Amino acid sequence: MATITLKGLAHSYQAKPEAPQDYAIQALDHVWQQGGAYALLGPSGCGKSTLLNIISGLLTPSEGQVLFDEKVVNDLSPEQRNIAQVFQFPVVYDAMTVAENLAFPLKNIKMPKGQIQQKVQEIAELLELTDSLHKKAQNLSADQKQKVSMARGLVREDVSAILFDEPLTVIDPNLKWKLRRKLKQIHEQLNITMLYVTHDQLEAATFADEIALMYQGKIVQFGTPQELFERPNHTFVGYFIGSPGMNFIPVEKHQSGVSYQNINIPINAQQQLALQNSRSSNLKLGIRPEFVALSDTASPHSFAATLESVEHLGSYQLVSVVFAGLKMQVRVSEKMQFKGQELHLSFPSQWLKLYIDEYLVAEPAPQAQGHNHE
């Protein structure tokens, strides 16, 4: 078990990297606390597997250090780091039975035979593999094989950390849901640092207490699912988290605030101050579809918009509106009815975020959570 610290980490697959885009991982500092359940979330190609392989020791970083509990492990192999890693596709010994596959990591650490048997039974039960224990791995279906892979990752309790790299990719949707919850349960029992890589926000939020959102080789935000939803600190977080993602209004600076198509949109005093201190013209307002207020009557602070389409999605409706030529999404209750095309939008101040050069500005720091992010 270990706290894992990444210091000034960078990695390029090129021999002579020059520009930032030559790096798969860019100048990254982060701490994964001992015992945490973390997700590493981001789109394909953002560097998740690269980062995971650097932590496990399969890959040597071009720059920076990996520390396990204060000790630099850059030169240690995955075995020496004592890491269990589960990959996207099954890694099993086809010629062995399921029981032998599960026993393998335990034999390697010379666990006594009786104990091995007991542990294999236990983990097989947990992952519902008991009926297959005597079967040759080669005769299993792809998702059974992947369960064996996962069981092999989970069978040892003495590891520093368990790393999962999109482990549910080949698993069918029903089983996926079940395994996700199961992993969470296992984490609660074992108190082992677990790092779970996925591109699926739902999967990340079910498994993890905290999510590191990656974009172009950087962790752009680290926080609880709620923090990422309510306070995206980069436009990419706003866009990637939520369904659909945050609405963005490209705005221009004017004397007392910002405007879009010559329509003034009020912002708060803190946001105005940040704006005054910046010379950037890359300004965006962001607001989540859940927080836009929609009405068929005008109010002093509302903006005219036209209805484009309504999608009924069970417990809510997703409404597309056009505001001064800009398409926006609004999530409203299933009860709301639409009579005409004319609608009125308003943007509650607490949910209207200002982004300068894609980064959130002028927000009070989030409430202390009793742990340190950096």
Residue 61 makes contact with ligand ADP by CB under 6 A: no
Residue 56 makes contact with Mg ion by CB under 5 A: no
Residue 101 makes contact with ligand ADP by CB under 6 A: no
Please choose which of Mg ion, ligand ADP, none residue 213 contacts, taking the beta carbon within 5 to 8 angstroms, the exact cut-off set by kind. none
Residue 50 makes contact with ligand ADP by CB under 6 A: yes
H helices of the chain, where? 48-56, 78-81, 98-108, 113-126, 142-154, 173-190, 201-207, 225-230, 235-240, 269-276
Residue 218 makes contact with ligand ADP by CB under 6 A: no
Residue 13 makes contact with ligand ADP by CB under 6 A: yes
Stretch near ligand ADP under the rule CB under 6 A, chosen from 39-47, 108-116, 154-162, 330-338: 39-47
84: helix, strand or coil: strand
Q: Is the peptide bond before 225 cis (omega within 30 degrees of 0)?
A: no
**Closest distance between Mg ion and the C-beta of residue 39, in Å?**
13
**Closest distance between ligand ADP and the C-beta of residue 264, in Å?**
41
Stretch near ligand ADP under the rule CB under 6 A, chosen from 42-50, 61-69, 176-184, 218-226: 42-50
Residues near 193 by beta carbon (within 8 Å), at least 6 away in sequence:
1, 2, 3, 4, 32, 33, 34, 35, 36, 38, 160, 161, 162
**Closest distance between ligand ADP and the C-beta of residue 13, in Å?**
3
**Closest distance between ligand ADP and the C-beta of residue 213, in Å?**
12
Residue 49 makes contact with ligand ADP by CB under 6 A: yes
The one among 20, 27, 29, 45 contacting ligand ADP by CB under 6 A: 45
The one among 26, 49, 85, 272 contacting Mg ion by CB under 5 A: 49
CA dist list (Å): 54 to 47, 198, 218, 295 = 11, 17, 14, 51
Q: What are phi and psi of 185, to 5 degrees?
A: -60, -45
**Closest distance between ligand ADP and the C-beta of residue 34, in Å?**
24
# binding residues, ligand ADP (CB under 6 A): 10
CA dist list (Å): 165 to 52, 160, 339 = 8, 16, 49
Cβ-based burial of 184 (10 A; exposed 0-12, middle 13-18, buried ≥19): middle
Please give the angle made by the CA atoms of 345, 349 and 351, to the nearest 5 degrees.
85
Residue 24 makes contact with ligand ADP by CB under 6 A: yes
Which CB, 49 or 193, lies closer to Mg ion?
49
Q: Which two tokens stand for residue 64?
A: 């920076």
- Residues 164 and 153 sit within 8 Å (Cβ to Cβ): yes
Task: Give the residue among 360, 41, 30 at the shortest CA–CA distance from 225.
Answer: 41
**Closest distance between ligand ADP and the C-beta of residue 216, in Å?**
9
Residues lying near Mg ion in the complex (CB under 5 A): 49
Residues lying near ligand ADP in the complex (CB under 6 A): 13, 24, 42, 44-50
